Structure 1
Amino acid sequence: MKKYSFIVFLVFLLGILSGCNSSKQAVTAQPAISPADTSLFRLVQQQTFHYFWDGAEPSSGLARERIHTDGVYPQKDQSTVTSGGGGFGVMAILVGIERNFITRQQGFERFEKIVGFLEKADRFHGAWPHWWYGETGKVKPFSKKDDGGDLVETSFMIQGLLCVRQYYKDGSPAEKALAARIDKLWREIEFDWYRNGKNALYWHWSPNYGWDMNFAVSGYNECLIMYILAAASPTHGVAAEVYHDGWAENGKIREPREALGYTLQLRHHGAPNGGPLFWAHYSYLGLDPRGLKDQYADYWMENQHQALINYQWCVNNAKGFKGYGPDSWGLTSSYSVKGYSGHAPSAERDLGVISPTAALSSFPYTPDQSMAAMKHWYNDKKDKLWGSYGFYDAFSETDNWFLPRYLAIDQGPIVVMMENHRTGLLWNLFMSCPEVKTGLKKLGFSSPHLTKPN
């Protein structure tokens, strides 16, 4: 027993020291993880990180859209790389450096490959497509008319790259040069073009179909980061009214209501008890929700309450699905028994499928509930749920459905949000960007970061 306790203490100490890697970027301590839980927390981060390291497409260095490890890997998708999931992946690589999963030099070399690919890959008015072919950098259409720029996925990518820029901006000459190349990519994104002449941002533009997809993005969903980056752009910025008229729909976004004992402040389209839980993750991988407020919402409260509602829905388990409970919960968009599905806490959208990313990426909001799920899945269900890149994307005990399949957009937030819970690493990097602070102020946000020096 004494030997085990000493080993746990050493793992805990190494976890603390690994957070002191020479990034020269201060981080703010988060609520402590008990020494007894630190080794599992680290293991889950590390195994999931390898999706973006060992599992990366070799030519580009970017995350593959999906990886199946059940012997039926989709051959047609082996070279498909994703801009949004790739953006989550570059943030995961920063975590890998800080946690000593890889060295600083290894991380730098991978970033050089990724940035080199992004500089040459297809772009459309500065925006990247949803998918590329990794060997060539040519766009792979996501659907017939989605063969051009995807401003939402581009925003997820640049959110990650700005963290990399901040990480290396005061480093060696080579690191500073890499930061400058990222800065150039950021400045070339034409957010103002994607207004389509309106007070809104449009998700897609195609060189072949123009604005035919006609998707003006309004809230509330996963896309807040796009509007903030558009306001923050030093070269192609948009005015505040684009946010207030387009995203907030002249105030219609605000729709306070109670759900399972918690208040939601914003309208979640078609989701009375909150949307898929990734809405509380994707925009907030870099954008720090702690103390983040504007005239429409307190975003920490919104995200925490969305996670708690999601948890409570699974605990209540009104539909009687097998395996749901306080140590197995989490509904979000993921693989499902019959294809991909946007799981959410409602009678129509709860299909009996748990997605581990939902609970694990919610660690900052629900630390006790997320820890209970992580320990149960690893200690009691490891033989059915655990593989090369951590917990499988989704499972259903009701349907006895456990497939070893992974998606970049689900694995990335696990690594990043667990680190934000532990150290605030990515939150502090992203929020240190002077342009981000300018954009938030332009839109009327308040945040503790806005009073900190750049």
Structure 2
Amino acid sequence: MLNTLQFHLEQMVHERGFLFHFADIVTGKRIWDCEMSSIDTAIFLCGALTCKAYFAGDTGPERQIRELATKLYERVDWPWMLNGGSTFSMGYKPESGFLKARWSTYCELMMLYLLAIGSTTHPIEPTYWQNFARPYINYAGFRYLSDLAPLFTHQYSHAWFDFRNQRDRYVNYFQNSVAATRAHKAFCLAQANQYSDDYWGVTASDSIAGYTAWGGPPMLGRIDGSVVPSAAAGSLPFLPQECLRTLMAMRERYEQNAWGRYGFVDAFHPTSDWYDTDIIGIDQGISLLMAENLRTEFVWKTFMSNPEPQAAMKLAGFHT
């Protein structure tokens, strides 16, 4: 962990603290002409702050870990990524400037805004928390805040920020994700002869045709009967019994082809005899984080012991 944080601070190319979406793990340089990503920087910082809180001892390496994590967080110039707007840009390219796309509608963006509000060096005003749209979806008797986006958008911020017993002026976001997961399961079961209580869950992943941001409701992409294990695994704290049931059933039935060194494959379609060969870290990551939160609440407790997320949620208007 010490080497990882040191590499990100000293070698990983950045602009005002924001990291490239994809980078070479040896050189730290940009690859694939990608953008400096605001949301992926936020995901990384949530992990760094978790390490900062966990390594609380007095040994030299533990002190270094805390110092490195602090420097990585404190160097981020959050107002710069607003680019003069009322919401965050999704990223920045050195050749062309800020991306036109913005984090302007409810999704996985909560961690981004809260980290920025809680910054002790380059904060944004708490009023920015009110600036992203919060549309509702109604499906199968469930009503919840959501953009037209896959299920992972209801999971990622919840891996670190503990929203369970708090709400802001709008909603309890944990219960919102419970409703979103229930609606997604109902959506899967409504696809004729494709899914069951023991086999459901579709979110952004690989597919037979390549990577796709599919799911629902409403229908996103061409749902073909493939299953994405991280859809249920990433929602384990929201629907423990239902998610555990399908994950255990899928492993029991498809273990020979769908389970490997790192757990489930990213996606699979048994009737087509297709089992993904790629390992996608972000999908494995949300599965592990949420499994541990269900088991012990470890990630929530550790991350939330940092003063910055606590202060940010208070400033954003969260209360019990």
Same fold per superposition (TM over 0.5): yes
Aligned to 2:293: 420
Q: Deviation above 6 Å: which 4+ runs of structure 1?
A: none
Question: Does the C-alpha gap of structure 1 residues 317 and 228 become closer, same or farther in structure 2, counting only changes over 3 Å?
Answer: same
- Kept in 1, the 8 Å contact 2:229–2:267? The answer is yes
The answer for the alignment partner of 2:95 in structure 1 is 208
Equivalent residue runs for 1:382-393 within 5 Å:
382-393=255-266
Q: Which residues in structure 2 correspond to 1:27-426 (within 5 Å)?
A: 111-120=1-10, 121-143=12-34, 146=35, 149-211=36-98, 213-245=99-131, 247-248=132-133, 253-255=134-136, 257-264=137-144, 266=145, 268-269=146-147, 271=148, 275-318=149-192, 320-321=193-194, 324-345=195-216, 346-349=218-221, 350-426=223-299
Contact 1:335–1:341 (CA<8 Å) still a contact in 2?
A: yes
Determine if contact 1:343/1:353 at 8 Å carries over to the other structure. no
> In the alignment, is the contact (CA less than 8 A) between 2:2 and 2:64 conserved in 1?
no
SS in 2 for 1:441: helix
Query: Under a length normalisation based on structure 2, what TM-score does the superposition of the two structures give?
Result: 0.94
Equivalent position amino acid for 1:258 in 2: N
Q: After superposition, what is the alpha-carbon deviation per residue over 1:285-325, rounded to whole angstroms, capped at 9, x for unaligned?
A: 1011211311122111110111111112222333x32xx10
State the Cα distance separating 1:351 from its structure 2 match.
3.2
Deviation at 1:122, TM superposition (A): 0.2
- Alpha-carbon distance between aligned partners in 1 of 2:275 and 2:54, rounded to the nearest angstrom: 38
Question: 1:201-234, CA deviations, whole angstroms, 9 ceiling, x for partnerless residues?
Answer: 11111222112x2122112111111011110111
Aligned partner of 1:103 in structure 2 is: none
By how many angstroms is 1:171 displaced? 4.2
TM-score (norm: length of structure 1): 0.67
Query: Identity of counterpart residues, as a percentage?
Result: 27
Root mean square deviation of aligned Cα: 1.6
Please state how far the C-alpha of 1:398 moved relative to its aligned partner: 4.2
CA offset at residue 278 of structure 1? 0.7
1:95-115 deviations in Å (ceiling 9; x for gaps): xxxxxxxxxxxxxxxx01101
Across the two proteins, how many residue pairs are aligned to each other?
317
1:258-309 Cα offsets, whole Å, 9 max, x none, are 3112221x2x33x3xxx31111221111011211311122111110111111
Contact 1:201 1:242 (8 Å CA) reproduced: no
Larger relative contact order (CA 8 Å, sep ≥ 6): 1
CA contact 2:13–2:20 (8 Å) conserved in 1: yes
Higher mean C-alpha displacement, 434-443 vs 340-349 = 340-349
Task: Answer whether contact 1:291 1:299 (CA < 8 A) is retained.
Answer: no
Asked if the contact 1:159/1:430 (under 8 Å) is kept, the reply is yes
| In 2, Cα distance between equivalents of 1:325 and 1:152 | 33
